[in-house]
């Protein structure tokens, strides 16, 4: 079986402001697309800044589409580079992040736990930087959820160990 892997940037002109908008179209396989879309819907239920993913098609293939969040005013810097900066300036990167945006940091950890996201490595989260001042503004919106629910047995739910030693899905627990 040949695996497709698309990451394409496309743009459209919005009818509201006639500004260019850029989108990242992501595919890996059907499971990755479904996971990203479901995780995005779950995060819509919370007060946490995130890239909203919507279903799209590209050349007949189902993909997830998320708006590119960088702009002339602000950039994103991944946490791996924030840590290097902090080390080179004798600063504690964790204190720096918690001082700037503790709410977003703790929210990210909670939401990743809830959706079983196993891909929150240092390149998948980071900070907003004001391009005029080169100062950290806080954590950038959460993104990249195509590996959500990999901690579960399926997108329908996890296999839970019950007190009787048996197994049941989270769906079974609702009845």
Would you state the pLDDT for residue 169? 52
Q: What is the pLDDT of residue 26?
A: 84
Distances (CA, A) of 160 to 49, 72, 114, 120, 165: 30, 47, 14, 23, 10
The answer to the question of residue 2 being in a domain is no
Q: What is the pLDDT of residue 150?
A: 81
| Domain-embedded: residue 1 | no
Nearest to 54 by CA among 76, 24, 83, 81: 24
In this prediction, residue 120 carries a pLDDT of 86
E strand or H helix at 115 = helix 93-115
Number of independent structural domains in the chain? 1
At 67 the pLDDT is 87
- Strands (E) in 14-165, as ranges, are 20-26, 53-58, 61-67, 74-78, 126-130, 135-139, 159-161
What confidence score (pLDDT) does residue 30 get?
87
Quick one: tokens of 97?
Answer: 């992040």
Domain coverage including residue 34: 7-174
Instruction: Determine the pLDDT at residue 16.
Output: 42
Query: In this structure, are residues 120 and 145 in contact, taking their beta carbons and an 8 Å threshold?
Result: no
CB 149 within 8 A of CB 115: yes
What's the pLDDT at 102? Answer: 94
Q: What is the mean pLDDT of each run of 10 residues along the chain (175 residues)?
A: 43 47 81 91 91 90 88 92 92 91 93 88 90 94 89 59 46 45
């Amino acid at each position: 079986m040949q695996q497709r892997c698309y990451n394409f940037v496309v743009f459209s002109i919005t009818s509201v402001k006639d500004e260019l908008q850029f989108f990242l179209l992501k595919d890996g396989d059907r499971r990755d697309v479904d996971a990203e879309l479901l995780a995005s819907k779950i995060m819509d239920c919370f007060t946490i800044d995130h890239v909203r993913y919507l279903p799209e098609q590209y050349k007949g293939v189902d993909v997830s589409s998320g708006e590119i969040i960088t702009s002339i005013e602000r950039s994103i810097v991944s946490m791996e580079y924030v840590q290097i900066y902090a080390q080179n300036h004798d600063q504690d990167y964790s204190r720096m992040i918690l001082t700037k945006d503790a709410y977003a940091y703790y929210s990210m950890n909670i939401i990743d736990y809830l959706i079983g996201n196993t891909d929150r490595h240092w390149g998948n989260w980071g900070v907003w930087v004001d391009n005029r001042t080169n100062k950290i503004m806080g954590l950038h919106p959460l993104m990249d959820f195509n590996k959500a629910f990999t901690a579960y047995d399926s997108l329908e739910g996890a296999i839970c160990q019950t007190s009787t030693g048996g197994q049941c899905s989270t769906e079974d627990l609702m009845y």
